Amino acid sequence: MAAGAGGLFMTPEPIAIGPLTPAQLDDACEVERLCFATPWGREALEAELGRSSMCCYVSATLPSGRTVGYAGMWVVGDEAHIGTLGVHPDYRRSGIGERLLVNLLLRAARRGVGRVTLEVRASNVAAMSLYGKYRFRALGVRRGYYRDNGEDAVLMALEELDTERYQAFIADRADALDCAPGGEDS
Ligand SMILES: CC(C)(COP(=O)(O)OP(=O)(O)OC[C@H]1O[C@@H](n2cnc3c(N)ncnc32)[C@H](O)[C@@H]1OP(=O)(O)O)[C@@H](O)C(=O)NCCC(=O)NCCS
């Protein structure tokens, strides 16, 4: 908390976006548990991190070292599939989900990806709005895709990641949000 001219206001904590590491798995599992009806367990996440050539996971970390969001994708050839994106409920609506997505898309672009797909629950207005902001379009519906409640999944795709126009757009967003990937190879 910091005092401003108009009174007290919250100073947003700086959040670091970077590769998800094994040391962050406990926090990532907690985020997973709080975000999803059928969360992945620690072993599944650990196995994902081990498959480094195909999988790419990024995290959002507070200065204290606590991880409050993470996202991941699989990359095969020039296609990527975003398998997960979640932000701890106490830290939502402060730009973390967007920064994770932008960072992930830039990493996909580095790997030569042109098309990115994902599935999202038909009721998930927040996530669909985020993906729409980054020009994902709904391609169709997978009926009864989610086993916990039989909900439909909307299949969304971003088809233009490898275009100059999109890369200029995403680079601008990364600058504005200060979330471009560093030089690490992931
Ligand atoms: C979806 C989710 C990752 C968004 O994370 P977040 O950090 O709260 O989102 P941000 O603050 O970065 O918001 C970015 C954009 O997302 C959309 N958005 C986020 N929360 C929203 C809400 N409650 N209602 C509508 N749009 C919302 C908006 O387009 C927003 O852009 P804006 O600020 O210009 O309006 C988060 O709500 C979450 O973890 N949900 C549970 C897990 C989940 O559903 N993951 C997606 C699986 S496909």
Question: What residues contact residue 3 under an 8 Å CB cut-off, 6+ apart?
Answer: 9
Ligand 1 centroid vs 41 CA: distance in angstroms?
23
The whole-angstrom separation of Cα 52 and Cα 35 is: 24
CATH class for domain 13-177? alpha beta
- Whole-number average pLDDT of the chain: 92
What local confidence, expressed as pLDDT, does residue 186 receive?
A: 57
pTM for this model (two decimals): 0.94
pLDDT tens-digit map of 51-81: 778 999 999 999 999 999 999 999 999 999 9
Q: Which atom of ligand 1 is nearest to the CA of 84?
A: 47
Q: How many whole angstroms from 95 Cα to the centroid of ligand 1?
A: 8
Selection from 73, 68, 39 nearest residue 55 by Cα: 73
pLDDT digits (tens, 9 = 90+) for 106-150: 999 999 999 999 999 999 999 999 999 999 999 999 999 999 999
Q: Give the per-residue pLDDT at 53.
A: 83
Residue 121 Cβ contacting ligand 1 at under 6 Å: no
CA angle in degrees (0–180, nearest 5) for 118-155-124: 80
Q: Which residues are catalytic?
A: 119, 131
One-letter amino acid of 19:
P
Residue extents of the structural domains in the chain = 13-177
Q: Which pair of structure tokens corresponds to residue 25?
A: 């798995």
CA angle (157, 85, 142) in 5-degree steps:
45
